[in-house]
């Protein structure tokens, strides 16, 4: 099964994808994690990605498409994959369809998440990530804080804040999403594989609740 997570930064894509990964036994692949790894190692790709990400802009299509295509060749995604952060443009979506078609596969489900902008800013500014690359558990200092400040509940590693998790960059990323990525909603809506949901504390619907709805939807439509 090929699942795509759509939504502006801070809508809960990573949280929901993590739950689906556990329940469906298929890996979550985040282009953001791959970019951050390269940035940390200061590879040529990392330097290029950092240039765009630090400004709240999207990494160029050709770089991202090639990276994802290579990732789809690896053994752990033969049975399925949850793509978090890709595609981000219609061009990327069209290229992904071609890549999957060559493998006799298709996009089975696209999960589109929406959250009010003010909630997104609050959520991302208060987001903390486990520094252990094998864990990567996500916390929120308001919604789901760790039991011990600055320490991951699951593995005991230090929690960190991404340097681009600040109000100015978040607003830029949100605007980039609206301008360049939201057309994907129309693209997949026309294909009939779109599942839309609102993640917001104002309606008492958080990531785990949406994940349960998605799992129920998948079960009913097998």
Which one of the listed residues 36, 88, 123, 128 is annotated catalytic? 88
Which one of the listed residues 36, 123, 136, 173 is annotated catalytic? 173
Which one of the listed residues 162, 171, 201, 205 is annotated catalytic? 162
- Residue 88 falls in the annotated catalytic set: yes
The dihedral of CA 164, 70, 136, 132: what is its sign? negative
- Residue 103 falls in the annotated catalytic set: no
- Residue 173 falls in the annotated catalytic set: yes
Which one of the listed residues 36, 127, 128, 136 is annotated catalytic? 127
- Residue 36 falls in the annotated catalytic set: no
- The C-alpha angle with vertex 138 and arms to 134 and 144, in degrees rounded to 5, equals 140
The catalytic residue positions are 13, 88, 127, 162, 173
């Amino acid at each position: 099964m090929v699942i795509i997570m759509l939504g502006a930064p801070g809508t809960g894509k990573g949280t929901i994808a993590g739950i689906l990964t556990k329940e469906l036994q298929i890996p979550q692949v985040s282009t953001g994690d791959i970019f951050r790894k390269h940035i940390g190692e200061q590879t040529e790709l990392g330097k290029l990605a950092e240039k765009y990400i630090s400004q709240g802009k999207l990494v160029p299509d050709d770089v991202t498409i090639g990276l994802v295509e290579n990732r789809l060749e690896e053994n752990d995604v033969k049975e399925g994959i949850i793509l978090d952060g890709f595609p981000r443009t219609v061009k990327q979506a069209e290229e992904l369809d071609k890549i999957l078609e060559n493998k006799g596969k298709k996009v089975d489900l696209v999960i589109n998440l929406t959250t009010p902008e003010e909630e997104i800013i609050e959520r991302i500014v208060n987001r903390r990530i486990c520094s252990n690359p094998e864990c990567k558990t996500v916390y929120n200092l308001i919604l789901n804080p760790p039991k011990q400040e600055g320490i991951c509940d699951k593995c005991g590693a230090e929690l960190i804040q991404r340097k681009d998790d600040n109000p100015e960059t978040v607003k830029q990323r949100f605007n980039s999403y609206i301008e360049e990525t939201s057309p994907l909603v129309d693209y997949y809506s026309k294909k009939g594989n779109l599942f839309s949901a609102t993640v917001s504390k104002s309606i008492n619907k958080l990531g785990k609740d949406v994940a349960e709805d998605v799992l129920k939807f998948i079960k009913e439509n097998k």
